[in-house]
Every structure is written in C-alpha cells, then in structure tokens.
Amino acid sequence: MQHTGPIAGIASHGHLIATAGYDNKLILWDARRRQALARANHDHLVNQCSFSADGRWLLSAGSDYSARVWSLPSLRLHAVLSGHGDDVDMAVFSPDDTLIATCALDRMVRIFDRDGRCLHTLAGHDGNVLSVAWLADSRHLVSSSVDGTLRRWDARAGKQLAVTDLHVRTDSVEIGDDAMIYAGDDRGRIAVIDHDHVHFVQAHRAGIKKIVRDGQTLVSLSYDRSLAVWHIDAQQQLHELARDTLPADIWARAATILDDGRIATGSFGGSYALFDPRSGQWDLDGVAAGPAINAVLAQQGQCFTVGDAGRVCRDGIQIAAMGSLCNFLVAIEDQLLCGGQLGQLFDAHSGRVLYQHHSPLNCAVALGDRQQVAVGSYTGEILVFAPAPHGWVLQQTLPVYENAIKGLSYSDGMLFSVCASGAVAWHRCDDWSQQHAIRHAHQRIANDCCCIGAQQFASVSRDRQLRLWHKDGVECHDSPHPNSVKCIAANLQHTHVLSGSYGGTLALFDLQQRRWLPMQRPTMAGIADISWDDGAQHFIAASYDGQLHTIAIP
C-alpha cells in the first residue's frame, strides 16, 4: 500500500503518520515500522491532512471541493465537509477539537463542527486561501493567501478581526507561543509577527512552500530545494540550527516534526522520507517516483514523454534518465531539452545538465525561427537559451512575474506567457520588450497556453474558461470541464484546440465555428499535457496515471 503519485500533505501524532497524495489516496502509517495500516480515498487529489489533538480523528482536504473527517485507526468516513466552490487546500482542528477550519481556492475560510455542519463562511481574501492556523484559545485563527495578506478571524463569532498586508503571496502560516505568527512567503522570507509588529528573516533563495512548528522547533521548506530547521528562543525569535539540500525525490510542499526530532517530508511517490537534523542524514526507504507523465511531445513521427521519475521515453522505450521530476519537453530540430523540479535544464537525449536555476523550471517553448528556447520558472523569470558549440547558453533573463510561469507560447516574433497569478504578458523577441500585460486576465490560476494563429494565442485556467487572444482583444468561452483546465494544444492548421482537465476530461474546441465538441473522459487521472501529432493527424494527451490517449478531430 503506497502512493503512486506525489505526496502533497503529511501529518503525525505519536507513532502515527498520515500522508495525502495526488493519487487521491489518504494513507495511515505506523511510524515505528514504516508500515501502512489503512487507506481511504477522495474523489480527486488529496492536498493535506491533519490529526485531532486527541488522536481520535484525521482530517483531509481535497480537490473534490471537500474536506473529510475520518475515525482512527480504521479510516472510516465520519463526515464530509462540503460547500467550498473550489479545491480545499487545508483543514485543521481547533486545539480543543470542537471546531474545524478549512480554506480553499474559492477564497473562503469555513468553520465546521466535527459532524460536518458549516457554522460560518468567512469572506475577505482577494486571492486563493492557502493555509489556516488556530490560536491556542480555539476561538481565533489566522489565514494566509496569494493576495499577500494574513487575516485574523473570530471563528465563533464568524467575523474578521484584523488584516496584516505582507504584499507578497504567503503559502504557509504557523502560530507560536503568545499568539506569535510565523508565515513563509514567496520571496523566501519568514515573517515574524508580534501583534502589529512585523519583521522578516531571509530564510531561503526562493519561495517558502511549507513551514511547520512543534514546540520550540520550526521547519521551513523552499523551492530553492532546501530544508531549514530553526530554534524559537524565549523572545520568539528564530535561530538556524540545520540546513540541507532536499534530495531529488522530495517535494518541498509537506513536512511534519516527529516526537523523536526527525522530520518526515512528502515525496514524489511511494512512501514518505525522513530527515534527521542531528546527523544530517536522509532515509529514503520506500520512496520511488510514480508512473505519472507530466509532458508529451510528438516530434518527427516519434512520441517523447517524461514525468515524475525523470525518465525520458521515446515511443514507450526509455532513452535517458534525468534523475529528478521533469515538467516539460521542448525540441528544436534534432535537439531535445527538458527540465523541472531541481531547476536544471537537461539535454534530454543524454541527461547532461545544461543550466542550473535557483527555482524549479515549469514550462518551455521553442522559438523556432530564432533557434532559441524560452523556459518559464517557478519564481516568475523567463529564461531564453540559445545553442552553443558545447551546449546551450543563457542569453536573456526576463523577470516578468512574482509567481510561477505556467505556460509559454510563441508566434511570429511574439512570446506569450501565463502566470499562476492569472496574469498574461506579451514580449517582442527582437528586443525582449514587454508589449502588453494584463494583471487579472484570468479569474483563477492560469495553467497553460498555445498558439492559434499569427500572434494569436489561447489560454486556460482554473476558472474553466478558454480565452482566445487576438489583435482585437479577447474572447471568453466557458468550457464544459467540471474541473480546473490544466493544459491546451492546437493542431498545426489552427482549426481546433484540445483542452484537458485535472478531472481527466478532454474537450475539443472548433476555432472556426467557435463551438465545443462533445467532451470525453478517457481516464480518472488528471490530464497533464497535450501534443499535436501532425503525421498521425491526432492529439496525444498524457495523464498522471502514466497513460497516453489519442484524440482525433472529427
């Protein structure tokens, strides 16, 4: 009983560990024997989990728009906490176990009782709410968001008490003694907040994705691929105790501090990992990336794939191993590049590292007529590479966004990009000047884009809309997808686009008639990427269960 996809959430209580996975699984483990005891499922990705203080209950938060309460140790479902309008990112019990706080990408915080009755819906954030933490009194809580604010709430009265604006996305928040607040932000800082006073500790070189606290110990994980352990002194200030580079199989999204001082972290599949800050040693027993495909590329009659395991395959046969999760494949003539979680750009034929960035690499596009490749990073830079006699060289760095670049597309000297913030931008490739930008082009996280004609582009988002960008403006078309739209690709003739969702659905859009064709659902796993195979005249869609699906244009 193991995870076949990334472990996004992890929690511990005594000798028990719980893990939440992108394979829709919630697994309960005996930490002493590292043995799975029970398993439960959501209807979609499980994003996070947490124990009640008395150890009798386990909470999980899922992308099926619900949180769930499970009895222990059987993992029997006790209650479903519903009502959110988007993915639930976190759910936590109050310290006295009488209330549950949830937060979601619908920008709401909700307060439930343990039986699933919603007591309050707390509105105020202008962006996705990413984390919540209770104060010791079990009445007050703090939430953090992509809108850059921390908000304090009275959970029993159902009202907002205060707002602290940090002016930067904040993914994770923890409460210390005397109501001290610790928050990890997208600039790699830990904000230490004592009532109205804020000071920052520069903890990492890239965004902090998770902080966890147990007693006087605080742990931070960052997209700079590092884990740091901090001591909280009597004045509630931070002092670094240990720091280590995360192994390639570790995801910087989840961690928990065990009773013996070791730190359990999420991984890209299999089991959780363990780090001992006293010895600096990692225990990766049972950790193994799953079969997920993250990128597919049809090229000159061949089909290339790469995924969580970092194995590049051609027509299903492995040709090289990158040794870490990869998010994209891009080709120019006979050269093939890939990159991903470690921030490394690889020669996909040999596995040779061509460039090292300070944050993960997320997407790429070939600037074909210019013999260049543009790569988008998690920290908002577009990196432009060109071939050189002994590899590829970085020619240009464009600091476009403060959040992750989710998609890049190119046409006739114009580079189009979409960002996790919902923003889009156009850059002229002759001088790399920004021609135009729209800060709130999408209402939710923008996930991907593609070219649909001469300097015309399409983009998709968590808001489940297809946007068509052209010189006269933008058209918006509601998609039939019931879940967030993850990816999009166009055929070479630009007559159709195929979109894929996190729910495993695929939908064709006829660009000439401006209409959707009947939706298909070939898999229960999410669709990760789509490529057009011009030789076979069909689309190839890759899913997170490691399968490929061909979709022809009727």
Q: Is the pLDDT of residue 272 over 90?
A: yes
Q: Is the pLDDT of residue 235 over 90?
A: no
Closest CA relative to residue 525, chosen from 22, 61, 19, 104: 22
* Residue owning tokens 């399409």: 458
Q: SS3 of 177, please?
A: helix
At 389 the pLDDT is: 84
Where is 403: in which H helix or E strand?
none
Q: Is the pLDDT of residue 551 over 90?
A: yes
Q: Is the pLDDT of residue 540 over 90?
A: yes
486-504, pLDDT tens digit by residue?
999 999 999 999 999 988 9
| Residue 261 in tokens | 């001082």
Q: What is the DSSP string of 489-551?
A: EE-TTSSEEEEEETTS-EEEEETTTTEEPPPB---SSPEEEEEEETTTTEEEEEETTS-EEEE
At 393 the pLDDT is: 93
Backbone angles phi, psi at 389, to 5 degrees: -55, -30
Q: Is the pLDDT of residue 290 over 90?
A: no
Enumerate the β-bridge partners of residue 3: 270
Q: What is the DSSP string of 416-483?
A: EEEETTS-EEEEETTT--EEEEETTSSSS-EEEEEEEETTEEEEEETT-EEEEEETTEEEEEE-S-SS
Chain length of the chain: 554
515-536, pLDDT tens digit by residue?
999 999 999 888 999 999 999 9
Q: How far apart are CA 281 and CA 408, in angstroms?
A: 39
299-336, pLDDT tens digit by residue?
888 999 999 999 999 999 999 999 999 999 999 888 99
Q: In sequence order, what are the residues at sequence separation of 6 or more whose Cβ sits closer than 8 angstroms to the Cβ of residue 308? A: 5, 6, 268, 269, 289, 290, 291, 292, 294, 325
Closest CA relative to residue 424, chosen from 416, 412, 435: 416
pTM metric for this prediction: 0.89
Q: How far apart are CA 259 and CA 235, in angstroms?
A: 24
At 530 the pLDDT is: 98
At 178 the pLDDT is: 82
pLDDT band at 443 (very low <50, low <70, confident <90, very high): confident
Q: Cα dist. 485→141, 488, 507 in Å?
A: 32, 8, 10
70-87, pLDDT tens digit by residue?
999 999 999 999 999 889
Q: How far apart are CA 100 and CA 48, in angstroms?
A: 14
7-46, pLDDT tens digit by residue?
999 999 999 999 999 989 999 999 999 999 999 999 888 9
